[in-house]
Amino acid sequence: MKTRKLGPFEVSEIGLGCMSLSHAYGPPPPRQQAEAVLLGALDAGCTFFDTAAVYGLGHNERLVGEVLGPHRDRFVLASKCGLSRGERRELNGHPDVLKATCDESLQRLGVEVIDLYYLHRWDRRVPIEDSVGALADLVAAGKIRTIGLSEVSAATLRRAHAAHPITALQTEYSPWTRNPEVAVLEACRELGVTFVAFSPVGRGFLAGGVRDVARLDAGDFRVGMPRFQGKAFQRNLALLDRFEAIAREAGCTPAQLCLAWLLHKDPGLVPIPGTTHPDHVREDMAASQVELSAETVRAVEATVNASTVTGARYAAAMQASVDTETLPGEVLA
């Protein structure tokens, strides 16, 4: 596995997003299967694991801590605060809440320090400088090593970075979600902030994993996303057929094409695909070895882009909790 810089850390250029093992895509997989995903990623060379307090309301942090705890010296650990505390989902960026959430996360993870700690969402009721100041206090206390932000705009990143150096910013980025290209990627390069791309295979869609939305679990949050609904979904399926053809011509799987495309876009970018299947972990990590021609990159971008994808990234209620730039003509409904 090739590596990339993440602040003071050297990490595998493809990490693992652990959310789907506890949260968002229907019932979690059996414990044995979840363990196989985590340990399989580690064995495949992954040295960057991403979790959060909100994933399963603590379940994911406990899982990661119990399974990967014996191998703590082999990976960089990231978690998040500001979107959950206790036994209910709550957006709250107040300094006292962030510090309390960190203590709870440390206990669930079974560690003394978290390498990278993100503000999961910016609570606009609290100045970003105040929330980042609380995280800076956690750095000073030795409870976290570095600070990250999730789903914030370039302008908010600059304000936060002026208050305390920011190591990483994460948001959704894939061939079918290109919002970071508006301003955030440039701001990250200017400030020396690593960009971490979550949902890099289009929430499974570009990997060919969602061809029939009727088969999604009722608790799967993709059911409420505009791109997975009605005529929008049918139009997007036509894009998927062409995308899969490009992958075949490139000699890789569609998921690997997404990841290789991201790695090609920016040498400082780190994607964090997630999955519940051990076989998919090996497939994703192997994307580090895929080399794309300029012709293939052009074909991907001509086929899947803001003009060809139908439907907004989020429904309006979820979009209200994020602070990211929108693309020209994007409809947030």
Catalytic residues: 55
- Give the tokens for residue 175: 């061939």
Which one, of 205, 201, 278, lies nearest residue 32 by Cα? 278
Q: What is each CA distance from 104 to 81, 149, 313, in whole angstroms? A: 10, 19, 31
Encode the chain in three state secondary structure. Answer: CCEEEECCEEEECCCEECHHHCCCECCCCCHHHHHHHHHHHHHCCCCEEECCCCHHHHHHHHHHHHHHHHHHHHCEEEEEECCEECCEECCCCCHHHHHHHHHHHHHHHCCCCEEEEEECCCCCCCCHHHHHHHHHHHHHCCCEEEEEEECECHHHHHHHHHHCCCCEEEEECECCECHHHCCHHHHHHHHCCEEEEECCCCCCHHHCCCCCHHHCCCCEHHHHCHHHCHHHHHHHHHHHHHHHHHHHHHCCCHHHHHHHHHHHHCCCEEEECCCCCHHHHHHHHHHHHCCCCHHHHHHHHHHCCCCCCCCCCCCHHHHCCCECCCCCCCCCC
